């Protein structure tokens, strides 16, 4: 029987290297700190390298290990260069949190081709590029790994003014299952986390407004997610605790997805 007091070991990420894309702000920044605290050596990636460097400083100050790599997920060359840079440090990313994402909030009839391309190229193509390059490196080194895609409940339910975003996240949730099926033979797990509305610096003002309060009242638990609500699900999927989990879509949303409103 598994001893109850081994919980800490089960979720421990010591000896693992975790790549977090879109770590220069919001959820990615927070999850990089969480993974470092669980013992992973963290590689933080995004376009704004100055922000990444200050996060690296924060992680090191707390006793963790981290480095920053420039990354534009919309470019296959940049994704390859990011993984090359990780290998040049003598590391192999065996936990990958594909979190980089953008939203364009406009009514459908006002969305331009450029809006559509920006959202789909970042959220869907970018995530696919990161997933497949991560897997390519793991397969080459014959190592298992865990890929976690930050999708959204808006890939399953819809809201106004985010047509491209919803389509991109539906794609992420679905390709997560395809890759889980294909990568199982290599010992690579692929899962999606579907956050509900998560309070970050960028949206806190809106979520606290009257319109935000109305939205909150439609969530079964009557509350938005805090970034720390993501910690348990991410550590579960990243670590040995979730070793039998692949191809799942884990909603972290205080019940928003099951609400009838
Ligand atoms: P932020 O805008 O705070 O963070 C987005 C991150 O993505 C930034 O670090 C940004 O870095 C990075 N990014 C954007 N474009 C690119 C690119 N082309 N290449 C590399 N990195 C890029 O948003 P959140 O923290 O709120 O969102 C993070 C993820 O969580 C997204 O995928 C989002 O869809 C998802 N999500 C968020 C929810 C919320 O309520 N906040 C709810 C559900 C899902 P940089 O600009 O430096 O490149």
With a 6 A CB cut-off, is 72 part of the ligand 1 pocket?
yes
Euclidean distance between CA atoms 115 and 34, whole angstroms: 32
The pLDDT of 116-135, averaged and rounded, is 98
With a 6 A CB cut-off, is 122 part of the ligand 1 pocket?
yes
Residue 6, pLDDT score: 72
The better pLDDT of the pair 78, 7 is held by 78
Q: How many whole angstroms from its chain centre is CA 205?
A: 23
CA–CA distance from 104 to each of 11, 45, 138, 201 (Å)? Answer: 36, 22, 34, 17
Which ligand 1 atom is nearest residue 21's CA? 21
List, in sequence order, every beta strand (DSSP E) within 8-144.
17-21, 41-46, 65-70, 95-98
Q: What is the pLDDT of residues 14-63, one digit of tens each?
A: 999 999 999 999 999 999 999 999 999 999 999 999 999 999 999 999 99
Residue 124 DSSP symbol: I
Report all structural domains of the chain as residue ranges with CATH numbers, in order of start: 14-196+231-250 (3.40.50.720)
Euclidean distance between CA atoms 62 and 58, whole angstroms: 6
The pLDDT of 162-166, averaged and rounded, is 98
Q: What count of other Cβ atoms lies within 10 Å of the Cβ of residue 147?
A: 30
Q: What is the pLDDT of residues 53-109, one digit of tens each?
A: 999 999 999 999 999 999 999 999 999 999 999 999 999 999 999 999 999 999 999
Q: Is the pLDDT of residue 128 over 60?
A: yes
Residue 216, pLDDT score: 97
Residue 250's H or E segment, with its range, is strand 249-252
Which residue's CA is the closest to the ligand 1 atom numbered 23? 26
Euclidean distance between CA atoms 172 and 182, whole angstroms: 15
DSSP sequence for 91-117: ----EEEE-------S-GGG--HHHHH
Residue 261, pLDDT score: 72
With a 6 A CB cut-off, is 44 part of the ligand 1 pocket?
no
Q: Of 47, 42, 45, give the one whose Cα is nearest residue 60.
A: 42
Residue 2: band (very low, low, confident or very high) from pLDDT cuts 50, 70, 90 = very low
Euclidean distance between CA atoms 238 and 94, whole angstroms: 9
Q: Which residues are catalytic?
A: 165
Q: What is the pLDDT of residues 186-244, one digit of tens each?
A: 999 999 999 999 999 999 999 999 999 999 999 999 999 999 999 999 999 999 999 99
Residue 135, pLDDT score: 99
Residue 117: band (very low, low, confident or very high) from pLDDT cuts 50, 70, 90 = very high
Q: What is the pLDDT of residues 129-157, one digit of tens each?
A: 999 999 999 999 999 999 999 999 999 99
With a 6 A CB cut-off, is 146 part of the ligand 1 pocket?
no
CA of 22 to the centre of ligand 1 (A): 5
């Amino acid at each position: 029987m598994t001893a109850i007091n081994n919980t800490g070991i089960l979720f421990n990420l010591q000896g693992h290297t975790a790549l977090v894309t879109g770590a220069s702000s919001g959820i990615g920044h927070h999850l990089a700190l969480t993974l470092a605290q669980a013992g992973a050596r963290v590689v933080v990636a995004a376009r704004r390298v100055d922000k990444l460097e200050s996060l690296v400083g924060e992680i090191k100050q707390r006793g963790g290990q981290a480095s920053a790599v420039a990354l534009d997920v919309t470019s296959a060359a940049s994704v390859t260069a990011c993984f090359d840079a990780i290998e040049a440090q003598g590391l192999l990313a065996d936990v990958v949190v594909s979190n980089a994402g953008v939203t364009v909030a406009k009514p459908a009839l006002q969305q331009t081709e450029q809006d559509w391309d920006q959202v789909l190229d970042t959220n869907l193509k970018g995530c696919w590029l990161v997933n497949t390059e991560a897997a390519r490196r793991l397969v080459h080194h014959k190592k298992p790994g865990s890929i976690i895609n930050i999708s959204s409940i808006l890939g399953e339910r819809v809201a106004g003014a985010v047509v491209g975003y919803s389509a991109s996240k539906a794609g992420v949730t679905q390709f997560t299952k395809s890759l889980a099926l294909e990568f199982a033979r290599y010992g690579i797990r692929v899962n999606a986390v579907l956050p509900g509305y998560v309070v970050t610096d960028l949206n806190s003002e809106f979520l606290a407004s009257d319109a935000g309060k109305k939205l909150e009242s439609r969530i079964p638990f009557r509350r938005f997610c805090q970034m720390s609500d993501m910690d348990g699900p991410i550590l579960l999927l990243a670590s040995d605790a979730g070793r039998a989990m692949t191809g799942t879509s884990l909603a972290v949303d205080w019940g928003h997805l099951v609400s009838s409103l």
